[in-house]
Amino acid sequence: MSEAVVLGGRYQLEGQIGKGGMGQVYLAVDTRLERKVAVKVLPQAPDQDPEGVTRFMREARLAATLQHPGITVVHDIDVDNNVLYLVMELLNGRDLQKLLEERPGGLRLDQAVDLAVQITDALGAAHAQGIVHRDLKPANVMVVEGGRAKLCDFGIAKHLSSATGLTGSGVLGTPVYMAPEQFLGKGIDARTDVYLLGGMFHEMFCGQPPFPIDEGLEALVQGHLKYQPKGPKAHNGALPQEIDRLVLDMLAKDPAQRPADAAEVIRRLKAVNVAAAPAVPERHVPNISAGNAQAALAVLGGSLPPAPAPSAASPAEEYEQLNKRAARYCHEGRYADAVTAAEQAAQGRAALLGPEHPDTLSSRNILASALYLAGRAQEAEGVARTVAQGRARVFGQENPKTLRSWLLLAKILYTLGRASEALPVAQGVARDRSRIFGPENAETQEARNTEGWSLHALGRHPEALNVAYESATARGRLLGNEHPDTLETRLLLGLTNQAVGQFPRAHAIATALKLDCTKVLGAGHPLTTRAEALCQALNTPSPAPHVPHPMASPHPMAAPHPMAAPGWPAQPAHPPVPYYG
């Protein structure tokens, strides 16, 4: 949005001071009250019809009624010429994410406990009013002068799920911290926020999120759904045991096993004897992309009081922080920023460690993912192929990291309209993952999904139909029938039924899919739109078989309720072709 714009005839924009998946933030002047404010311009949701806008504004205004010193004051919310915006108090400080980027080993124990108590207290006040945040993360916490923590962005997370697709799959939230019930599309309540807090606390106390973030979304999702985190003490041995136990309790898979409410979390935090914990030297990593941060600080009006002089970080530590930042940007939908950070990390690590060091390959893998997600598939192809071949040499062909890189290449090739090249790679990954990890494994089914879409694009519809049926059924059991990944395969199942002339079955799938997509993703989501188009095509008096075309989006989308098996013999699938050399 151009500067010098006046929103609502009142708020004069002066300059952009921040951006991200949550929208763009501008410094502005409230010309009526003659004061500086922050204006957040929200992404326009595809389904932003008048009723949806009204509903969102009602929810956001409810959140704006929260009166607590730890919650950012919202002055106004309105729509101007189809631009939805929030007007907030202008805060003098930095967000918690920037602080954590500068302290890779975690915050000082006393500072971390103090901020954790403040954040939890503010969240408890919201919960007392029946408001669940749903997207808690360090970037949504501002730390202002004096060390006061302020929670931001209440009431807009639900809107943003349809506006941005923050996770790349349509699931609401930021995958680095999301609770299992969010990934599974189940009901959420205050205990969901407790899980999100647990992920934030994990990073505050040791510098690491609960699960690795640099191996792609599917691996991160499986961490949250299936695996017990090591806990912050595994990364910071000086932490008191009580902190480690609290964080692990907050990260319980079952909401019933988490602390019951914010009050219990605060009680346990305050019981920690901070003074008795051994001091750990701080490590400081300069903000390598300091230009943006300095610009933001100049507008926001300063920074926090200086911390005690930390020890300097090594180049390896600086590149590790860049690598983590690039991965986080990918998960937050900030793909252009992810490309920049990953390029810097990959180049630095290649010079420092060599082109096929595992850390260099990790950065290059993130770079390939970021390029692909940013719509730059042609550039991503060469990087992804190099990483897959390098990982095969370093780790072996059947290593999970190697298989993830080959699958990324298959997706890129499919997106480029080269399904004949994508198919053997996807088949190879699906075959190897099924043998090693089993057929009902999320990443196995991700490969099967790509295999099915490739078969469909090549006109091998009976084979594609069998793959779609098996994958939709498996994903339904693994993730639930309304999970976006399952919805994706349900679309493929509907299209392949249409392609082989099974119109009644295709119509039933498309009708159920349209309803579920509208409920879960919103009326304007690309997957919902494709389900609607399939319904319309099947509603004609003489529906024609579907003619496939390469997906325009890097995320093929769909999936159905488990259906009866196809009623005709399956064509034998061609033998999987080995990976490319």
Q: Please, which pLDDT band fits residue 551 given cuts at 50, 70 and 90? A: very low
Structure tokens at 59: 């929810």
Q: Is 40 annotated for ligand binding?
A: yes
Structure tokens at 24: 């763009």
Instruction: Give the residue numbers annotated as catalytic, written as ranges.
Output: 135
Question: For residue 172, what pLDDT is reported?
Answer: 57
- d(CA 3, CA 27) in angstroms, rounded, equals 10
Q: Please, which pLDDT band fits residue 522 given cuts at 50, 70 and 90? A: confident
Question: For residue 201, what pLDDT is reported?
Answer: 97
Neighbours of 374 (CB within 10 A): 18
Global pTM reads 0.75
The answer on pLDDT for 299 being more than 60 is: no
Q: Is 354 left (phi over 0), alpha (psi -120 to 50) or beta?
A: left
Q: Which residue type does 495 have? A: L
What's the rounded mean pLDDT across residues 35-58? 68
- d(CA 519, CA 514) in angstroms, rounded, equals 9
Structure tokens at 250: 């907050």
Question: For residue 217, what pLDDT is reported?
Answer: 80
CA 53: distance to chain centroid?
24
| Full set of structural domains in the chain with CATH | 6-89 (3.30.200.20), 93-284 (1.10.510.10), 313-409 (1.25.40.10), 458-576 (no CATH)
Neighbours of 205 (CB within 10 A): 28
Question: For residue 547, what pLDDT is reported?
Answer: 52
Question: For residue 414, what pLDDT is reported?
Answer: 95
- d(CA 181, CA 216) in angstroms, rounded, equals 20
The answer on pLDDT for 308 being more than 50 is: no
Structure tokens at 394: 């370093």
Structure tokens at 110: 């006393």
Q: Which residue type does 531 have? A: A
Give pLDDT tens digits for 274-284. Answer: 877 665 555 55
- d(CA 96, CA 79) in angstroms, rounded, equals 29
Crossing angle of the two packed helices 335-353 and 315-331, in degrees rounded to 10 = 150
- d(CA 479, CA 520) in angstroms, rounded, equals 14
Residues 525, 576 contacting (CB under 8 angstroms): no
Give pLDDT tens digits for 435-461. Answer: 999 998 888 999 999 999 999 999 999
- The helix (H) or strand (E) run that includes residue 85 is strand 83-89
Which of 43-52, 91-100, 456-465, 503-512 bottoms out in mean pLDDT, i.e. has the lowest?
A: 43-52
Task: List CB contacts of 187: < 8 A, sequence separation 6 or more.
Answer: 181
Give pLDDT tens digits for 111-138. Answer: 999 999 999 999 999 999 888 888 899 9
